[in-house]
Amino acid sequence: MKGVFIHVSPAGNDGNSGTARQPVATLAAALAKSRQVGIGRWRRIVVHEGRYFNTEVTLGPGDSGLTIESAPGERPILYGGRPITGWIREPNGWFSAAVPEVSEGIWDFRSLLVNGRFAPRSRYPEEGALSHESVFDVRWMSSSKGGWERKPTLEERTTLRVRPEILPSGFDPRNAELTIYHAWDETLVGVKTADRATGTIFFANPAGHPPGAFGGWVKQARTFVIWNIREGMTRPGQWYLDRAQGRLFYWPLPGENLESLTVIAPSRFSILRIAGTEGEPVQEVCLRGLTLSSTNTPLKAGGFGACAFEGSVEAEHTRGLRLESLVLHGVGGWGARLLKSEEVRCEGCEVIEAGAGGVQLDGSRWTVRNTLFLKPGRTYPSAIALHAKGCGGQILHNEFRHTPYSAVSAGGETLQIGHNFFSSVMEELVDGACIYVFAGKNCRAWGNHARAIRDVRAHAWYLDEQSEDCRVEGNLAVDVPWALHMHMARRCVLRNNICLSRGSARFSLVNCEGFMVERNLWNAADEVRFNTAWSAIRAMRDNVMGSATGQFTWDLHDRLSSLERHSGPVIYPPAARGNLLLADARVEADTEGRVRFCEGSPAGALGIRPLDLSLAGRRKGNFI
């Protein structure tokens, strides 16, 4: 079958033919030419080295079979934004540039690329957060039971009470935006007005939850941060947008000068859109070897995981979509959001410094493999590196580093989550995990390696509400104090997981039923604490628990009884047998994920297998 190549180059002209010698200048022109190709011929758009600004195109069902790829050995960059020019030096050494569309109210943005770097906005306070006085003491009934016992009012979602003295003296509502922290969530809101005398701030857009919600769970839920005000400019590299003046201010890093400054501000929510319908999906589109950068987000609540924001690749109703070797860097929303789609493959990609999350997808028979997720949630810390749901999906050999909330949040049926590597996950929010599964049915997480998770407010492996018949087995957690946490899940299996901690260690089955807990190993330098119920455990056997201090505590309860705490010798459920309590389980793990049982360890005799997870994470070449 014959086909056609259409070439795009910044040096081209949209009036050209689109051949290698006469390329067009824009992706939009190339797409128009590809649509002129006759039926039955393949079409390939080849994008050459260079920078393409203000890019946004939409593919429909008629574009099925199209490939958009970089030229061999070249790395073109598609920007959903444009350069800011006309910079001058301010008397204090800052740089500034006029952005008249901002003062006219027709353009706004909350991310900025400076010399290719996702530059931080001005932040007040410089570190930590401010405390507020708002209280919302309504009971959270769980997501499965409909959320709040009483629906919050609009006033409760648009008002913040503060002590007036905590606001900076020059606080300007026209510029300020606030992050209102909840527990596993946050909302970015604009400021409509502020009454300093009464300490009342009125929001321009409603928060996802009322300020003060979840305050009984975590202190963070009574805090907030102010962005984009002059008083928040405390160090080089920061910027803020003065909306009243229509002027952008930037504090240069050492060595940066006006002549070498390249600043890109986002003007588009998405760069590549793929829009099918339920009856006519877009089929067999491939995006390969491109870099997408600089996209925008509106001022609104992002919802759970900041899932409401669009991706630089935004797709709906597709079949057989392939994302191969893409770099999604410095985007304001999601790297890619792929919804209501079948047989999506995301392979060999990198999602680096996104304002929201990395990749969000739902559908069936999708695969995410060999992909790097680094520093999502730069603007919305509730954002998830990989949020995936559906049936028959696979998450294999990926790498997750420096995420503010959960690295993987997944739900659906028969999901396979294996051989992934996690480091420095859950750096900001609570009640999440390296792998968090909500309403998972017959899912499996195995061969995953997690390291350096900050404290007991974060987890490695977490099965949550409505999860049933799942297996968590053969995973390694090093320096994760609360590695295994299960909540409102049923009939799941926890097998051959190894959890090592230089501090304390915890394990919990909260409101769970029918768990099989066998051949797991915990080894801690301090206390080992178990929080579970009789009804949670179907069988608990051949597990090893080591505590160098000899402290073992079982918080034993049931749904119909109060908590009973037993310290010292563990009181096992009736279904328990063959479990060992030791001062030292005699086990070691190297930084590559290879576990070794030392001489005198009883683990092997109980059937616990040492793990070799040195191949967890990204790999080169073709693999399954």
What residues does each domain of the chain span? 1-48, 81-122+233-266, 124-231
**Range of weakest confidence among 35-44, 321-330, 354-363, 381-390:** 35-44
**Element of type H or E holding 529:** strand 528-533
Stretch 384-403: mean pLDDT, rounded? Answer: 97
Read off the tokens for 600. 């005198």
Amino acid present at 432: G
Kindly report the CA angle at 520 between 515 and 525, in degrees rounded to 5? 125
Per-residue model confidence (pLDDT) at position 557:
65
| Mean pLDDT calculated for residue range 33-54 | 92
Q: Which of 182-191, 227-236, 496-505 is least confident?
A: 182-191
pLDDT higher than threshold 90 for residue 575:
no
pLDDT tens digits, 196-210:
989 999 999 999 999
Rounded to an integer, what distance in angstroms lies between the CA atom of residue 363 and that of residue 48?
A: 33
Taking only Cα atoms into account, the Rg of the chain, rounded to an integer number of angstroms, comes to 26
pLDDT in tens, 313-334: 999 999 999 999 999 999 999 9
Burial (CB count within 10 angstroms: exposed 0-12, middle 13-18, buried 19+), residue 519: buried
| Residue bearing tokens 């010798």 | 569
Q: In angstroms, rounded to a whole number, what is the distance separating the alpha carbons of residues 241 and 577?
A: 64
Confidence of residue 622 (pLDDT cuts 50, 70, 90): very low
State residue 453 phi and psi, 5-degree precision: -95, 135
pLDDT in tens, 524-545: 999 999 888 767 889 999 999 9
Q: Which residues contact 404 (CB under 8 A, 6 or more apart)?
A: 376, 377, 381, 382, 383, 426, 427, 428, 429
Give residue 308's pLDDT: 96
pLDDT of residue 585 exceeding 80, the answer is yes
Q: Which two tokens stand for residue 555?
A: 């918080």
| Token pair recorded at residue 612 | 């070799």
**Mean pLDDT on 269-281:** 97
Phi, psi for residue 365 in degrees, rounded to 5: 55, 45
Q: pLDDT band for position 546 (50/70/90)?
A: very high
| Per-residue confidence (pLDDT) for residue 574, from 0 to 100 | 52
- Residue 243: name the closest of 443, 108, 445, 144 by CA: 108
Count of beta carbons in the 10 Å neighbourhood of residue 443: 25
- Whether residue 474 is predicted with pLDDT greater than 70 in this model: the reply is yes
Q: Is the pLDDT of residue 93 over 80?
A: yes
Are the CB atoms for 209 and 157 separated by under 8 Å?
yes
Q: Are strands 239-242 and 247-250 parallel, antiparallel or unpaired?
A: antiparallel
Indicate whether 561 pLDDT > 50: no
Sign of CA dihedral 21, 24, 27, 30: negative
Side chain identity at 82, as an amino acid letter?
R
State the pLDDT at residue 455.
73
DSSP state letter for 16: S
Q: What is the pLDDT of residue 560?
A: 40
Strand partners, 509: 486
Q: What is the pLDDT of residue 562?
A: 45
* Mean per-residue pLDDT, 228-239: 97
State phi, psi for 546 to the nearest 5 degrees: -115, 130
pLDDT range class, residue 596, cuts 50, 70, 90:
very high
Which of 517, 552, 512 minimizes the C-alpha distance to 534? 512
pTM metric for this prediction: 0.94
SS3 277: coil
CA distance 64 to 61: 6
More confident residue, 567 or 312: 312
CA dist 385 and 410 (Å) reads 11
pLDDT at 457: 77
d(CA 499, CA 503): 12
- Give me the mean pLDDT over the 368-374 stretch: 98
Q: 269 phi and psi, to 5 degrees? A: -80, -30
What CA–CA distance (Å, rounded) separates 113 from 92? 22
165: buried, middle or exposed (CB in 10 Å: 19+, 13-18, 0-12)?
exposed
Rounded Cα gap, residues 355 and 524, in angstroms:
36
Contact 288/67 with Cβ under 8 angstroms? yes
pLDDT at 439 over 80: yes
From the list 582, 588, 558, 557, the residue with the least C-alpha distance to 569 is 582
Which whole-number Å values give the CA distances from 547 to 107, 339, 526, 551, 562, in the listed order?
58, 46, 6, 6, 27
Average of per-residue pLDDT values in the chain = 92
Residue 398 has pLDDT above 60, yes or no: yes
Q: Count Cα neighbours of 199 within 13 Å in the Cβ-side half-sphere.
A: 11
Q: Between β-strands 350-352 and 327-329, what pairing exists: parallel, antiparallel or unpaired?
A: parallel
pLDDT at residue 577, rounded to an integer: 74
Distance between start and end Cα atoms, the chain: 31
CA distance 514 to 534: 9
For residue 44, the cross-strand partners are: 5, 67
| Per-position b or e across 323-348, b if 16+ CB within 10 A of its CB | bbbbbbbbbbbbbbbbbbbbbbbbbb
452, pLDDT greater than 70? yes
